[in-house]
Structure 1
């Protein structure tokens, strides 16, 4: 798949394409249905599938820190789009120049002159251009003039509920990882490379692998029972703190993972961390002794959770077990679930549908409803 950054990097002579436009944050099952729709049309026309995205996302540009948390970074979004059969991604910088374009200018410069769009798939509530003055009707009207067709997307429902990035964020914030995974079509995960940090965990007897996070609003914040996939394919249980570590005063958010019964050098490794159950929110402790005591409680709670689901938490998973989990794909829509948790048949990940303990929502916690915002798909 080809990633094109900016209109100026588009090939001079475009042969046309079938395209869609949007944030595609999370690349959830609703997005996947749109991409299926695109591929069907592209196959009939013999044209490549193109997705137009923006960086930053428009609401991040306008709202800054008040924008909804991202579900996927750009590199992860691109990877997921490639897995869905997209041929090229046009990533447009969302800046003052782009926001100043009228809807008709956007159509003429980006869709017609830039991409040579032959068929466009968007939602019937899609708005774009300066002052959001462009809509589906305008696209259809200009499309007739410029030689491209416009088709509206099919709504994707799960349990009679529209799948959207906003809904997935709410599920994650409330600790319902089981339903979030069903809407995403895969378990939610965070990924990144382990860096040398303060090494505070080692000094208090709890070594951690620290992965820096982007300076953006966090979809999750708190302490979680997690399964971590190492670069060698092993899946290991543990506990993770996601956030700002208020007791030690971090300057940026960090994913801090402690693996049970493992003492390995993980610096430089790329980890994939799957939150399975929420334990609590971030807390500012009076000192390191109080922090150490709470960490023991967190570890015990996470070990008990994994033990209830038949996972060995006193030894690393074998490579064969890891490969078996990797070979499985997708989630069954009728995956068994209870009020407390659900185990995915395909990956073996015990994904909770609620936090393991009641807690009051605070500024340091992602539990509870997500901030009110318009549905961004």
Structure 2
């Protein structure tokens, strides 16, 4: 898939799998990792990658895995994603990366030794000229591939290797795990500082069970397409609509215990001063401040009272009342 700019010129490219690599894709400056969140630490790596790309005069490539390795190897222990695959790819392109190369993580890939991975992916596949790695990156079967190993491979196959120093904020390492901890506590402000931008979720508006409409507070139900979310509760939000217009609202993200107790997470957004049909449209929901935890209410009447209270609180946050 090639992403083009507004003038129709090729801008960025997503490559899925080794079988889609062509001769024109060989010869790159490369980095590898999960890049969940594309946070400040990741951006530090990407900036170094782009600098080396400019120095060598070849494209910059980020290699990612789908699903995440732990989601395949031990799904019950896999953490909630900060962003979906589509969001991650777009964030990497926005950061200035020329190409994103996605490897399908399966039994074959998990069994590859570090030596075989290096040869098949970095050498035979991408024709790596220079490799940038994060300070904690490991790969290959049993995670035996590390910085020292890559330096040896670089000497054998004539590519340079460098690692990046840990990026810190407030004296602590910036990491996806740290950001998940902030979001789990509802501290979206601190999470935004570590990400370098407000935390948001995007997705298409899908049909729900119309409970909000029956209560007089219609909601846009956003398909999250994930098994769990890194945050839950009721939030004051800012929503970017398909026409790039923005409006304020209140959102509930969780499992909607007052209605049907379903385990699959959902995101419901009530937009202030909006009328129109958003079904099928993709919207971006930015979490501005947490209002309360998700609760189970004994009746729809009590639920309606609390929703009205949440709306009033969100409007005060945005100075709308």
- Does TM-score exceed 0.5, indicating one fold? yes
Matches within 5 A, 1:163-242: 163-242=174-253
**Partner Cα distance (1:13, 1:306) in 2:** 50
**Partner Cα distance (1:253, 1:209) in 2:** 14
Matches within 5 A, 1:144-155: 144-155=155-166
**Partner Cα distance (2:273, 2:31) in 1:** 47
**What is the root-mean-square deviation of aligned Cα atoms in Å?**
1.6
Other-structure match for 1:294: 306
Query: What is the deviation of 1:183?
Result: 1.5
Contact 1:194 1:271 in 2 (8 A): yes
User: Cα 1:11–1:86, aligned 2, differ >3 Å: closer, same or farther?
Assistant: same
Q: 1:142-173: per-residue Cα shift (whole Å, max 9, x none)? A: 21011111101132222222211111111222
- Give 5+ residue unaligned stretches, structure 2: 1-11
Contact 1:67 1:217 in 2 (8 A): no
Other-structure match for 2:275: 263
1:247 aligns to 2:258 (yes or no)? yes
Contact 1:123 1:136 in 2 (8 A): no
By percentage of residues, which structure has more strand? 2
- Give 5+ residue unaligned stretches, structure 1: 314-377
Query: What is the deviation of 1:13?
Result: 5.9
Contact 1:213 1:252 in 2 (8 A): no
**Partner Cα distance (2:64, 2:252) in 1:** 31
Contact 2:135 2:166 in 1 (8 A): no
User: Cα 1:215–1:77, aligned 2, differ >3 Å: closer, same or farther?
Assistant: closer
Matches within 5 A, 1:8-23: 8-12=19-23, 14-23=25-34
Q: 1:195-233: per-residue Cα shift (whole Å, max 9, x none)? A: 222111111111111111113220111111111122223
Other-structure match for 1:278: 290
Other-structure match for 2:147: 136
Other-structure match for 1:80: 91
1:63 aligns to 2:74 (yes or no)? yes
**Partner Cα distance (2:82, 2:24) in 1:** 35
**Partner Cα distance (1:269, 1:248) in 2:** 25
User: Cα 1:124–1:304, aligned 2, differ >3 Å: closer, same or farther?
Assistant: closer
Other-structure match for 1:30: 41
Structure 2-normalised TM-score?
A: 0.91
The DSSP-based 3-state class of the residue aligned with 2:264 is coil
**Partner Cα distance (2:52, 2:23) in 1:** 24
Contact 2:232 2:252 in 1 (8 A): yes
The DSSP-based 3-state class of the residue aligned with 1:143 is helix
Picking from 162, 168, 193, the partner of 2:173 is 162
Other-structure match for 1:118: 129
**Partner Cα distance (1:136, 1:270) in 2:** 40
Contact 2:188 2:199 in 1 (8 A): yes
Contact 2:249 2:270 in 1 (8 A): yes
**Partner Cα distance (2:83, 2:25) in 1:** 29
Query: What is the deviation of 1:128?
Result: 1.1
